[in-house]
Amino acid sequence: MAPYAYPAPVKGHYKEINIGEFDLVDGIAYPAAGGAGTVVYVTDKLIASPIIAGSDCPMTQARVLAELRNAKYLEVTLNHGTSKYFAAGTYFGGSSREQEVGGRYWSSRMKEDPERAIGSVLHKRQGSFDFDLPLSSPKVKEVSEGDRTQGNRYDVTAPKPTEQAVTAAYKAMHDAALKKNLKGLLAAQGFDAKQIAAIRGLEGIDSDFIVYADRFLVPSAPDEVSVKPGTGYVRTEGTNSKGQKFANFYHFAPCGDHLVLVSIAENPQ
């Protein structure tokens, strides 16, 4: 597989006691739902942003890849250059969301540009980052990390998937994961051939995928399937490759004609 590399569109550093210390290298920017500014989501690992920025659901795809890579992230929503919150976290660890209540612990700026999000964010205690990202145009109502930390984890206006569709999506991903088939796992979620080739060429992606694939358990049969408008989940109990027992929840969201896995909640038994 040919390597896929590109100049880092994000540069920065962050340190927080519960999340850790890391550099920022990549991200996605898109208009916030309701026109309330621009969401800027940045990560400590490359997520193939040039190849997913133009997709119908760039934030959803970014979240899929960030979770696959267990990337750490920061997020703000800039409205006239300022953000009311500062979110940080990692998908299989801690997360936080600071709300602006007058302390002014962070400052930000963003250039007025119809096609790009260019600016910087400075947190007085924990770090800063600069970003120069294409401004994506989602075709769906994207859910930000800021939304998720407030309990708004999915788009309630989206259609409700069927239990059969959620089960089929889970089975396709489970089978690909156990076969260590990254191409198949991405294809099952609607990533196209060009995107898949780029993602598979990212440095370190194979080792990240090995860890991610072990989050799928044996046996594979779902114990519970639940659906709501904009989301569905599968619960299953089993063991990973190390024989450790878990009861996991696999949460799906729509992205175009496919369901994608946006969250795995692990529960050791």
| CATH number for 195 | 3.10.450.50
Separation of alpha carbons 191 and 47, rounded Å: 13
Q: Is residue 157 part of a domain?
A: no
pTM score over 0.75? yes
Phi, psi at 3, each rounded to 5° = -60, 145
The total of other beta-carbon atoms located within 10 Å of residue 115's CB is: 8
Residues 167 and 200 in one domain: yes
Asked whether residue 47 falls in the same domain as residue 112, the answer is yes
Q: Does residue 147 carry a pLDDT above 90?
A: no
Domains contained in the chain, number:
2
Nearest to 76 by CA among 111, 122, 136, 132: 122
**Spatial contact of 53 and 32, defined as CB atoms under 8 Å apart:** no
Mean pLDDT over all residues of the chain?
A: 94
Is residue 212 in some structural domain? yes
Q: Is residue 4 part of a domain?
A: no
For residues 66 and 41, what is the distance between their CA atoms, to the nearest angstrom? 11
Q: Which of 104, 127, 149 is the last residue of a domain?
A: 149
> What is the domain range of residue 238?
163-265
Residue 51: helix, strand or coil by DSSP? helix
Paired with 59 in beta bridges are none
- In the 8-state DSSP scheme, what is residue 120? E
Same domain membership, residue 192 and residue 115: no
**171 and 123 within one domain:** no
Q: Per-residue confidence at 101, pLDDT binned at 50, 70, 90? A: low
- Shared-domain flag, residues 35 and 68: yes
Q: Are residues 122 and 212 in the same domain?
A: no
Classify residue 93 by its DSSP letter.
S
Report the pLDDT averaged over residues 164-168: 97
pLDDT tops 90 at residue 222: no
Position 156 in a domain: no
